[in-house]
Structures are given as structure tokens and as C-alpha cells.
Amino acid sequence: MDVTGLLVVPVAGSETLALRSGRTPTGERVGIAFTSESRLIQVMGAGQRWIRLSEAAMKTMLAPLGIARVQVDPGLIAPPASPIPRARVPACATALVKEFT
């Protein structure tokens, strides 16, 4: 963190800003913050809007949403994964299974 002790926090929205949040691989919801603007740009791109906040202020703002943890300098921000489609079993394979059971 820089000398001011404030984090670079990505936000969404235009008139009313909302802190961006994410999920860990285990599904836990977390607030997202970075130690510098350059780190935010590396991960989220130059077009990402941001504000400066302390970690304590972030936690206070995120608490009503049930978010208790702030992930600082995450290495990857990805959109939610889409469900994996089920593999379809070809009709000929189904016929073989029936023949041998």
C-alpha cells in the first residue's frame, strides 16, 4: 500500500458507485482492491473506474452484503464460468450398452 494507506478499489456504475466484488475459487465472496493503479490496470484493464478507500472503509461498506474479506492484488479477475454442457452419448453407444447388459 502507498504512504496514504488507501487502496485502489474498482467500482461499477455511473451515478451511484458500487464496489466491485468477486468470488474465490471456493465460492467465498470478497471485496476487490489493489495497492496501485498500475496493478488494477494490469488485471482489470485501463477502462476500469476506481476510487481510493481504506480497507476498514471497504469492510464497513461490504459488511451489509455479507462480505467480510478484502482480496488485495488478486492475480486474476474472470467472468463467472458458464456451465459445462453434458456430453451426449451417441445412439450407437446406447445400443451397444443395451446389447451387453
For residue 17, what are the contacts with CB-CB under 8 A and spacing of at least 6? 11, 49, 51
Could you give the strand order of the β-sheet that contains 18-19, starting from the edge strand earlier in sequence?
A: 18-19, 7-12, 50-53
Please name the residue that has the C-alpha cell 467480510: 68
Cα radius of gyration rounded to whole Å, the chain: 21
pLDDT at residue 99 is higher than 60: no
Cell of 96: 451397444
Confidence of residue 5 (pLDDT cuts 50, 70, 90): confident
Mean pLDDT of 84-99: 47
SS3 for 34?
strand
pLDDT at residue 51 is higher than 70: yes
